[in-house]
Amino acid sequence: MRQVRLDSAPRGEPCMTLPMNFRMVWMGPEDDPRPESLGRNTSAIARSSKALPPYAERGGEIVRQERLRNGYLKITTLANFRARIVKDMLLDDGEQHHREFEIEVELGGLKLAVTVTAAEFNRMTWVLKMLGPEAIIYPGQQQHARAAIQCLSTNIRQERVFTHMGWRKHGADWVYLHAGGALGADPTASEVQVRVPIALQEYRIAEPSDPDPGVRAIRDSLRILDVAPDRITFPLLAGVYRAALGGAAFSLFLAGRSGVFKSTMAALCQQHFGAEMDAAHLPANFASTANSVEMLAFLAKDALLVVDDFAPTGLPGDRELRGIAERIFRAAGNQQGRSRMSNGQTSASSQPPRALVLATGEEVPKGLSIRSRLLIINVNPGEVDTVALTECQEAALQGQFSMAMGAFLIWMAGRYDSLRQRLRARAEELRQSFGGAAHRRLPSALAELESSLEIFLEFAEETNAVDTIEREALAQRGALALSEVLARQAKYHQAADPAQQFLSLLKTAIATGRAHVSDREGRPPEGDSTAWGWQRKSSVRWVPQGPRLGWLAGSDLYLEPTASYELAQQMAGSDRLPVSEQTLRHRLREHNLLASVDMARQVLLVRRTLEGRPRQVLHLRARDL
């Protein structure tokens, strides 16, 4: 730093202390600083009486203008480019709002347009990232450069952009958002702006140009029912239109070995939301990360989202695969996303799945908790009619299925609120007819599917795609098909139930010589001792196989709780029981598998004297093992 006196400055003016790289220029009282007199990162000082704004554009640069107390004007170069905000976009995902700015930049004679988030603009990190090394903000001027761009930006266009799909209010009316815009009864719905991720770009629903093509499209959509048995096709078709009604708290799972056309059938369902999403271009699969699938399920609101190919290989990577499935299906069933922390260490909004997930796989995910949130539809070899399948594929690629969905959504738009109320009320009525299910979630899912099917068939009749007789026949077939699904679902729930798994594993251990059961004195049980894990070595000698699990006393079986639980876990291998020992005891009681409990002590273990000493054991019935 040094003091500099301008020779032409009036006498008596004090010297000024300025950085060495500042360039001093004297100008008359009526002159403004001239751009050609200013070097980069310099200040010019002049006497002037003119009132100037704090920031300006000069010679392709952004400068700061500051009037000093002694009347001099100080001009500091902030950046070697010019920039103005031309568009302010409010991004709405249905849960949170975010801002983005479209900025026009002039650098070195070239004009560029860049889009940055509000956070990036605030930090000014976008300059180097978007403009490259030629763009310079001079040291210490970053926040002034940001403020200058804001001050110099005028006539900024304000826009609201939706970043999700599904139903939203547009004025007083409901519209359905998709990648191609919005559908609704209001003609101005086409003005709504929608921007979704690349993975959802093919969600483009066709709008029928007149009633006749719409009727043909609905008839084509109904042809899916001819592709496979009713127990397969009716839940799938009902699921397609249930997705459009929004808020489904269950997922569909299409199961079967490779080559039974699972993915192809799932694609027919997906193509109701976009003709291009065939089996080779489905929006999601289990090879993706859990975060990416969860994000898609959040943004694909009120739509079907196919997640393809759940195929465990028996390798260590299966753990991650099962974790993705569990996370997605549990979140969809609970209608809850995972809590997250923002960069500022504050709680951010969760992203619950808002799509109806249709998954495919060669194996059904394990665990009763997960299977209870799934409606499992099994496809066996030879059940798919390949001729009907090919015809449906052609119709789907021509956009017929998408057009049917477009007609349905426009029909819904004028009565969305009443249809949602009808769905809930009718589902509550129907769930009573699905009593006796293995899990309480299942009747609700089936009732919602049947209610959705009824709404779709009402729409089909109103548009003259079906008559009253056909509508009633289809509704009856659908109800019977869903009842069959209910009956078949029980085996998946039983196989996944921890209590049933526990007993099955113990049976296997005894049958394979990995464990045994003795009588109350530790001797071979009376009758067929081999059935309880004993092996005869001679005409009078019996040898127990493996560790002792418990004791047999007539029709009563007393299990050593810890030893039996640990052996079951060993037998399960990588598919370990998904519950703790304490929880397992409660599951056994819930399924009425405990013959007695200690009511006096309010515990599930009972006291018995076995092999001459008191023990605390689980009391079961011998016939259950």
Can you tell me the mean pLDDT for 22-42? 44
Report residue 254: phi and psi, to 5°. -95, 110
pLDDT score, position 209: 74
Structure tokens, 623:
């016939």
pLDDT band at residue 551 under the 50/70/90 scheme: very high
Domains of the chain, start order = 2-79 (no CATH), 82-162 (no CATH), 211-496 (3.40.50), 498-624 (no CATH)
Alpha-carbon distance 427 to 607, whole Å?
48
> Which of 30-34, 85-89, 137-141, 208-212 has the weakest average pLDDT?
30-34
- Provide, for the chain, the percentages of residues in helix, strand and coil under a 3-state DSSP scheme, each rounded to the nearest 5: 40, 25, 35
Give yes or no for residue 353 having a pLDDT over 90: yes
Give the model confidence (pLDDT) of 217-237 as tens digits: 999 999 999 999 999 999 999
Residue with tokens 């990190």: 125
Distance from C-alpha of 453 to C-alpha of 474, rounded to nearest angstrom: 9
Position 463 confidence tier, pLDDT thresholds 50, 70, 90: very high
> How would residue 349 be classed by pLDDT, with cut points 50, 70 and 90?
low
Q: What is the pLDDT of residues 322-346, one digit of tens each?
A: 889 989 999 998 887 765 555 554 5
Under 8 Å CB-to-CB from 282, ≥6 apart: which residues?
263, 266, 267, 270, 306, 308
Check whether 501 has a pLDDT greater than 90.
Answer: no
Does pLDDT of 37 surpass 50? no
Mean pLDDT is lowest, of 72-86, 238-252, 355-369, for 355-369
For 570-575, the CB contacts below 8 A with 24+ separation are 571/505, 571/506, 571/508, 571/509, 571/514, 572/501, 572/505, 574/318, 575/366
The residue behind tokens 């480019």 is 81
Confidence at residue 495, expressed as pLDDT on a 0 to 100 scale: 63
What confidence score (pLDDT) does residue 499 get? 84
Q: Please tell me the predicted confidence (pLDDT) of residue 29.
A: 44
- When pLDDT is cut at 50, 70 and 90, the band that residue 436 belongs to is low
What mean pLDDT is predicted for residues 468-481? 96
pLDDT of residue 438: 52
Question: Tens digit of pLDDT for each residue in 363-396?
Answer: 888 877 788 889 999 999 999 999 999 999 999 9
Residue 201 pLDDT > 50, yes or no? Answer: yes
Residues 6+ apart with CB under 8 A from 445: 249, 250, 375
Q: 533: left (phi > 0), else alpha (psi -120 to 50), else beta?
A: left
Confidence (pLDDT) at 1: 34
Could you tell me the pTM of the whole model? 0.77
What's the pLDDT tens digit per position in 259-317? Answer: 999 999 999 999 999 999 999 999 999 999 999 999 999 999 999 999 999 988 877 77
Model confidence over 100-129: pLDDT tens digits? 999 999 999 999 999 999 999 999 999 999
- CB-based contact 404:275 (threshold 8 Å): no
pLDDT at 343: 55
**Of all residues in the chain, what percent carry a pLDDT higher than 70?**
88
In this predicted model, what pLDDT tens digit does every residue of 408-433 receive, in sequence order? 999 999 899 999 999 999 999 998 87
In this predicted structure, what is the pLDDT of residue 439?
60
Q: How confident is the model at residue 19 (pLDDT cuts 50, 70, 90)?
A: very low
